[in-house]
Amino acid sequence: MSERGERPTLEAVARLAGVSRATVSRVVNGSPKVAEPIRAAVRRAVEELGYIPNAAARSLVTQRTDSIALVLPESASRVFSDDPFFPSIIHGVSQELDAANKQLVLMMTNTVGGYERVERYTTARHVDGVLFASTHGVDPLPGQLHRLGVPVVVSGRPLGRSPVPYVDVDHIGGVRKAVRHLLDSGRSRIATIAGPQDMVAGIDRLAGYRAELQGSDRRSIVAVGDFTRESGATAMRQLLEDDPLLDAVFVASDLMAHGAITTLRELGRRIPDDVAVVGFDDFDISRFTDPPLTTVRQPILELGRELARQLLRVVAGDDVPSSVVLPTELVVRASA
Amino acid sequence: MSERGERPTLEAVARLAGVSRATVSRVVNGSPKVAEPIRAAVRRAVEELGYIPNAAARSLVTQRTDSIALVLPESASRVFSDDPFFPSIIHGVSQELDAANKQLVLMMTNTVGGYERVERYTTARHVDGVLFASTHGVDPLPGQLHRLGVPVVVSGRPLGRSPVPYVDVDHIGGVRKAVRHLLDSGRSRIATIAGPQDMVAGIDRLAGYRAELQGSDRRSIVAVGDFTRESGATAMRQLLEDDPLLDAVFVASDLMAHGAITTLRELGRRIPDDVAVVGFDDFDISRFTDPPLTTVRQPILELGRELARQLLRVVAGDDVPSSVVLPTELVVRASA
DNA sequence: CTCTGCTGTGAGAGCGCTCTCTCAGCCCGG
DNA sequence: CCGGGCTGAGAGAGCGCTCTCACAGCAGAG
């Protein structure tokens, strides 16, 4: 191994193997048009010197960086320590990028100047593509990058009209199954704790609830939270004030469902006997609540992987099915 | 804004401003020896063209990449979705790197060929420095990189003798406070569920338990888990078989403590009346267990930040206080 | 035996930047 | 009025790689 700072270059390998730089480059990059004996000699020289290509030099000429940015929005930090959503996304993305030999550059917009940093960094093409995780409201950046020709894929259908390809899960379908389950088990006063109405996940899950209830003669009872446990607890309290006789609640996130369960217990309601509770997410933790939570599973890891796969496809220049919606599934446990 | 692929270069800015490339470079990099009028002219040209320096070209000559790798070990993935430890580390690291204008490159060793990938990537100096999060057992890579002169800082005191600087928390001090608390509240049969004994966190927390018990005439009752909820539940069952009369348990992680609580409840033990439970971590979720968990708080976010700060110092060439140990603190809630 | 057409290799330019070195211009002292 | 010292700007090399183009060598056709 070489000492600090004196890494072998293509030149050195070429000299040792007795060939030109171009030939070494061909071998290193797997070009087929190199005679076998020469290829072997080069391989040996590479091995001997412990040669590893300099990424900066390569990027400079190829205009590729072999790295992908994953941008997490401001809100991510708020829930980061308690909400396994972003970790799972990261994990899924990482799996696919690893397999494709791309690097994952993580960026958060939560810190001071975060938005400008991300904007500069991504428009400067320091990365080959950009992934956005669940943006709040209307974030102009994905569209802007898309227009500049930077490969972009976002998680969650963007609000408003947007040409940016996305990957999302079937919120509405999942919620409808959940509400149907409550109806089928004879519940008659079914409330919901919705998510923030500036996020597609919040909007769609409420829409699903409304859609399924529409078919029945039940009226909707709605409170809104922000996906945190605390907001779930508060919203539940409010819901019970609105209708003390409600016998079921669909909660738009598991964390909020946990909060709701805490409130229900404090107020002496038995679950599911008095009030049935269904969540949305299927976080690991929900198997361990008391009672274990019935919930709609969304495949978060898979969402991350699909996100990465789509982006890699765009980066590679393949045409992309503009968007993907992954299925959700009702997981019935004891709470409903 | 320019079309795809035709980003302005230094050259273009220089031409527009009527100066040389060198001068533009000086202005862009904030050199003080440029006359004010010229500086202003260059700034204007930069603005007008929307010039952003090409990172690859810069890296090529400076030999810096302005990015830092954070390596998460294999085990991270296993617990990723349920354990807020890594997310918090990432978050803390990210905060500091953002502030220093460095990029965060995330690498996991969990995927196929992960170790080799990380090794190649980091030794190839594609990053200015490498952070390792809580390695299992004895990982040779940090030491190896350190020897090659690559700036490295690891989280958690390395097992065995190692010259690699680390940042850790005061496991032993925290555990001693926890056990002392149990002793002071009159508990006489204090068991422990230890963490994996190939990790410093597991070893030290057990050592702290033993050390504090040593002073009293109480005997130690030990079971070992792997920091997961399930292992906590199993270990608790085992502990109760070993000593049905135990009246307290110090659990080496919050997740395992949750598992233990589940078991205790299943077996009809009241908490804290029959058995007091103390955890270690102070995850958010522990405020919401029933009863809320008394636990040792370790400052995970701060650990991440300190990790990044130390590494940035090494990268900058400042001499580094070889290691840092952050304080832990007992948080008393209802479970003990 | 020459010519054409291939295949495999080398020469060399150039990606966009930084940094050293050189030098022009100016101020001040002698 | 001239020379030395200083300051600020430009010229130019070169970081390590890829890729185009030229060309050597050889096979097969005419």
Q: Is A192 in contact with A235 (CB distance < 8 Å)?
A: no
Q: Is residue A2 part of a domain?
A: no
Query: Distance (Å) from the C-alpha of residue A241 to the closest C-alpha of chain B?
Result: 23
Q: Which residues of A touch B112 (CB under 8 A)?
A: 98-99
Chain A neighbors of B285, CB-CB under 8 A: 82, 285
Q: Which run of H or E residues covers position B251?
A: strand B248-251
Residue A9 (CA) to nucleotide C5 (C1'), in angstroms, measures 36
pLDDT tens-digit readout, B223-245: 999 998 999 999 999 999 999 99
CB contact under 8 A, A106 and B107: no
Looking at per-residue pLDDT, the higher value among A216 and B223 belongs to B223
> Can you tell me the distance from the alpha carbon of B130 to that of B155, in angstroms, rounded to the nearest whole number?
11
B36 and B178 belong to one structural domain: no
Amino acid B114: pLDDT: 72
A333 lies in a domain? no
pLDDT value, residue A74: 64
Judge: B111–A104 Cβ closer than 8 Å, yes or no. Answer: no
Query: Is the CB of A15 within 7 Å of strand D?
Result: no
Looking at the fold, whether B28 and B88 belong to one and the same domain comes out as no
pLDDT in tens, B183-205: 999 999 999 999 999 889 999 99
Cα–Cα distance, A302 to A329 (Å, whole number)? 14
Distance, Å, B61 CA → C19 C1': 9
pTM, whole model, 2 decimals? Answer: 0.91
Please indicate whether, in this complex, the C-beta atoms of A94 and B87 are within 8 angstroms of each other: no
A61 touches strand D (CB under 7 A): yes
Q: What is the mean pLDDT of residues B24-29?
A: 92
Tens of pLDDT, residue by residue over B68-97, are 999 998 665 555 556 788 888 998 999 999
User: B288–A258: do the CB atoms touch at under 8 Å?
Assistant: yes
Instruction: Tell me if A77 and B90 make a contact (CB, 8 A cut-off).
Output: no
- Residue B2: per-residue pLDDT: 36
* Cα B212-B300-B105 angle, rounded to 5 deg: 140
Which residue of A9, A61, A126, A287 is the best one to mutate when testing the B interface, meaning the one whose CB has the most B CBs within 10 A? A126
Q: Which of B81, B126, B229 sits opposite A288 (nearest CB)?
A: B229
Which residues of chain A are within 8 Å of residue B111 when distances are taken between CB atoms? 94-95, 98-99
Inform me whether the pLDDT recorded for B45 exceeds 60: yes
Chain A nearest-CA distance from B219, in A, is: 32
Contact A54 B60 (CB under 8 A): yes
| Residue B41: CB less than 7 A from any atom in strand D | no
Per-residue pLDDT at A3 exceeds 60: no
| More confident site: B292 or B34 | B292
Per-residue pLDDT at B254 = 95
Distance B33 CA to C30 C1' (A): 30
Across the range A115-120, mean pLDDT stands at 85
- Of the two residues B215 and A252, the one the predictor is more confident about is A252
Quote the domain boundaries for residue B184.
171-297
Cβ-defined contact of B5 to A149 (cutoff 8 Å): yes
A72 and A154 share one domain? yes
Taking the C1' atom of D19, which residue's CA lies nearest? A22
| Residue A202 and residue A291 in one domain | yes
Check whether A173 has a pLDDT greater than 80. Answer: yes
pLDDT (0 to 100) of residue A190:
96
Residues B84 and B49 in one domain: no
pLDDT at A5 over 50: no
Q: Which two tokens stand for residue B124?
A: 């190839």
State whether A321 and A214 are in the same domain: no
Q: Is the CB of B4 under 7 A from strand D?
A: no
Q: What digits encode the pLDDT tens for the residues B237-288?
A: 999 999 999 999 999 999 999 999 999 999 999 999 999 999 999 998 899 8
Would residue B120 count as lying in a domain? yes
Residue A192 has pLDDT above 60, yes or no: yes
Residue B76 or residue A198, greater confidence: A198
**A30-49 average pLDDT score:** 90
Mean pLDDT of A53-71: 93
Structure tokens at B27: 């202005």
Contact B52 A88 (CB under 8 A): no
- In this prediction, residue B85 carries a pLDDT of 85
Based on the domain organization, do A204 and A315 belong to the same domain?
Answer: no
Least Cα separation, residue A168 to chain B (angstroms): 19
With respect to residue B252, please indicate whether it lies within any of the assigned structural domains. yes
Calculate ∠ Cα A52-A310-B107, nearest 5°. 40
- For strand D, give the nucleotides within 7 A of a protein CB: 7-20
Chain A neighbors of B59, CB-CB under 8 A: 55-56
Instruction: Give, to the nearest 10 degrees, the angle between helix B10-17 and helix B36-49.
Output: 120
Q: Are residues B206 and B116 both part of a single domain?
A: no
Task: Please give, chain by chain, protein residues whose CB is below 7 Å from any atom of strand C.
Answer: A 18-23, 26, 33-35, 38, 57, 60-61; B 7, 9-11, 21-22, 25, 28-29, 51, 53-54, 57-58, 60-62
**Residue B253 within any structural domain of the chain:** yes
Q: Containing H/E element for A249?
A: strand A248-251
Do the chains contact at B87 and A88, CB–CB below 8 Å? no
Kindly state whether residues B144 and B179 are assigned to the same domain.
no
CB distance A60–B55 less than 8 Å?
A: no
Residue in A215, A250, A218 with CA at minimum distance from that of residue A236: A250
- Whether A251 and A201 have beta carbons less than 8 Å apart is answered as no
- Facing residue for A91 by CB, picked from B80, B91, B121: B80
Nearest-CA residue of chain B relative to A54? B124
pLDDT at A293 over 80: yes
Residue A9 contacts strand D, CB under 7 A: yes
b vs e for B182-200, b when ≥16 Cβ sit within 10 Å of the residue's Cβ? bbeeebebbbbbbbbeebb
Burial A111-133 (b: 16+ CB within 10 A, else e): beebbebbbebbbbbbbbbbbbb
pLDDT digits (tens, 9 = 90+) for B136-178: 777 888 999 999 889 999 999 998 888 999 999 999 999 999 9
Same domain, A20 and A122: no
Rounded Cα gap, residues B280 and B257, in angstroms: 8
pLDDT for the residue numbered A93: 94
For residue B15, is it within any domain?
yes
Confidence at residue A324, expressed as pLDDT on a 0 to 100 scale: 94
Give which of A175, A230, A220 is closest to A201, Cα–Cα.
A175
Where residue A230 sits, what CATH number does that domain have? Answer: 3.40.50.2300
pLDDT band at A4 (very low <50, low <70, confident <90, very high): very low
Instruction: Determine the pLDDT at residue A111.
Output: 64
Assign residue B42 the CATH number of its domain. 1.10.260.40
Give the number of domains in chain B: 3
Q: Within this chain, do residues A188 and A293 fall inside the same structural domain, yes or no?
A: yes
Beta bridge pairs of residue A331: A295
- Whether A46 maps to a domain, the answer reads yes
Whether A95 is in a domain gets the answer: yes
Q: Report the distance separating Cα A67 and Cα B52, nearest Å.
A: 18
Mean pLDDT of A118-128: 90
Does the C-beta of A29 come within 7 A of strand D?
A: yes
Whether residues A89 and A233 fall in one domain = no
Query: Pick from B80, B81, B108: which is nearest to A98 by CB?
Result: B108
The separation, in Å, between residue A20 CA and nucleotide C3 C1' comes to: 30
- State chain B's maximal CA–CA distance in angstroms: 86
Instruction: Answer whether the bond into residue A299 is a cis peptide, omega within 30°.
Output: no
Distance separating alpha carbons of residues A223 and A204, to the nearest angstrom: 15
* Mutation target vs A (from B59, B89, B96, B98; most A CBs, 10 A cutoff): B98
Q: List the beta bridge partners of residue B297.
A: B281, B329
Chains A, B: CB pairs < 8 Å: 148
CB–CB contact B288 A57 (8 Å): no
Exposure pattern of A234-247 as b/e (b: 16+ CB <10 Å)? bbbbbbbeeeeebb
Residue A212: what pLDDT? 95
